[in-house]
Amino acid sequence: MDNKRVAIIGAGITGLTTAFRLKNSGKSVDLFERKGEPGGSIKSYQQEEWLYEFGPNTLLLKDKVVRDFLFEIGLEDKIVTANTEASKRFIVKDGELVPVPMSLSGFMKTPLFSTKAKWRLLLEPFAGKSNVENPSLAEFVNRRFGHEILDYAVNPFVAGVYAGKPERLSFKHTFPILQELENETGSVYLSAVKRSLFNKKNNDEKISRSLISIEGGLQQIPVSITKQLDQCYFNHDVTSIEQKSDGWFINSQMGNFGPYKDVIFTAPLYRWNTTLLPVTDEEVESIKSVTYPPLSMMVLGFKKEDVDHPLDGFGFLVPEKEKRNILGVLVPSTIFKKRAPLDHHLLTVFVGGGRQPELADLDSDKLLSLIKSELKELIGLHGETIFKEHIFWPKSIPQYEPGYDEILEVFNTIEKRNPGLHLAGNFRNGVSVPDCIKSGLKLADELS
C-alpha cells in the first residue's frame, strides 16, 4: 500500500482545505463529492448586476493562518474588504431598528437595555460560577450578564450565526472563548481586559480583524482550491468505506477505489449510516440526535426610493422577544460594492431556524408575502420587488447542544477503533468558514 495515498469524502470547505494542504505536502489525494460542484453550503451567484450568496455571506478574518491560506490558494489580490458602513449593526426593539452600541459610552446611552441591565452588566465580575455541569449558552449569559443581554444581544446573535436558540446550545462548545475567559479570572470582563493589556495569548497568530468577501463571491474559495487539486471525482456518491488487510477502500456507484492509508470523511452527520461507515447502530443513533434546523434564505432587490430606512449598516437581527416571523436581514449592497445595480438595495432575509422551523419550508410566494409584511413595518418598504431568489436548506447548521461532549466522544471512539479513518467537518471544532479552514489545515498537518 502506498503510504502517501489519501481519500477525502466531501468537497465542502473542510475537505477541500485538507486536500490542498495534503497535496502540497506530497500526498496523493483523491477527493470524492456526490454533487456536481465544490463548496458545500458556500454558494455564490451572479445575475446581471446582482451578486448574492446562498450560504455564508461574509468571512470574518482575524487569524493569520486563515489569511495566509487565502494568499496561498491565490486569492490575495481577490479579497474584498467590507465598506465602513458595515461596522454599523442594528437590533430590532419595539418595532424599531436600534443601532448596536460600539463603545462603552454608546452602551450607556443605548435604548436597547434598561439602566438596571447596564448596571447588571457592569457587575459581571461579581457573578459566581455555575454548578451546572454542561450549562446552556442561555444559562451562562443570564447568570453572568442578566436576562436583557440574553434577550436583546445573545438571542438574536445566535439566531443569525447558528440559526438556533441559546437555550438549546452548549455554552462551552459554541463560544469556547467565554469559558476560557471565565476560567482565567472568574470574570469574562476582567480576563478580556487582562488579555488586551498584556497581549498574553496567541498574539503571533492574530491580525487586525476585517470583514471580507472574494471578488465574484465566497464560492471562489472552493473553486480556486479545486483548480489546484489533481483527482476530484464529482457526482460520485460514495456507498461504503471499508478497511481491508491492505488498506482502506472507497466504493461508489461509479466504481471502486483504493487502497488508501487514510480516509477523511466530512459528510454531514445526517448522512451517516452503518452501510456507509464502520459504525454501530448505537453510534448512528447518537450522532443523528444532533439537530440541523431548517432554514430559508430569500434574496430580494428593491429600489432605494421604495425603502424609507437608509439601510446604512451590515443589517439587523430580530430578538425572539419581538415575536416576528423573520430572524434577521443582511444588506449585502451596503456591506460590499458591486452587489446590486446603482440606487438599489440587495437584502438577504433569514426565516425559520430553531426558533420557527415551521416557517422555513413555506413556498416562495407565501414566504415573500410574509417577508414583505415584516419589511413594511420594520424598514418602511413600500415598493415592488425588483429581484428575488429563494433557497430552502432542510438541514442547515449542526447545533452544538448541551451534552455535545457525548457526541465528540462518539467521534473519538470511532476513530480509535478504525485507525486511518478521520472524521472532520462543521460538526467538530466550529461551524464557521474560518473554523473549518483551520480544522482542515490542522488535520492535514497531523497526517503529513
- Which is more confidently placed, 380 or 192? 380
Instruction: Band the pLDDT of 133: cuts 50, 70, 90.
Output: confident
Q: Are 39 and 330 in contact (CB under 8 A)?
A: no
Instruction: Band the pLDDT of 2: cuts 50, 70, 90.
Output: low
* CATH T-level assignment (fold) for domain 103-198: protoporphyrinogen ix oxidase, domain 3 (1.10.3110)
Mean pLDDT of the chain: 94
Domain ranges of the chain: 5-40+219-290+400-447, 103-198
Pick left, alpha or beta for residue 314 (phi over 0 → left; psi -120 to 50 → alpha; otherwise beta). alpha
User: Over the stretch 410-430, which tens digit does the pLDDT of each residue have?
Assistant: 999 999 999 999 999 999 999
Cell of 58: 461574509
CA atoms of 16 and 440, how far apart (whole Å): 8
Cell of 444: 492535514
> Checking DSSP bridges between strand 50-53 and strand 44-47, what pairing results, if any?
antiparallel
Q: Is 272 in a helix, a strand, or coil? A: coil
Identity of the residue numbered 176: P
Burial class (CB in 10 A: 0-12, 13-18, 19+), 321: middle
List of E strands, 139-230: 206-214
DSSP code, position 136: B
* CATH T-level assignment (fold) for domain 5-40+219-290+400-447: FAD/NAD(P)-binding domain (3.50.50)
What is the percent of the chain with per-residue pLDDT over 70, rounded to a whole number? Answer: 98
CA atoms of 318 and 406, how far apart (whole Å): 32
User: Over the stretch 57-96, which tens digit does the pLDDT of each residue have?
Assistant: 999 999 999 999 999 999 999 999 999 999 999 999 999 9
Q: Is 296 in a helix, a strand, or coil? A: strand
User: Over the stretch 426-442, which tens digit does the pLDDT of each residue have?
Assistant: 999 999 999 999 999 99
pLDDT at 40: 95
Instruction: Band the pLDDT of 387: cuts 50, 70, 90.
Output: very high
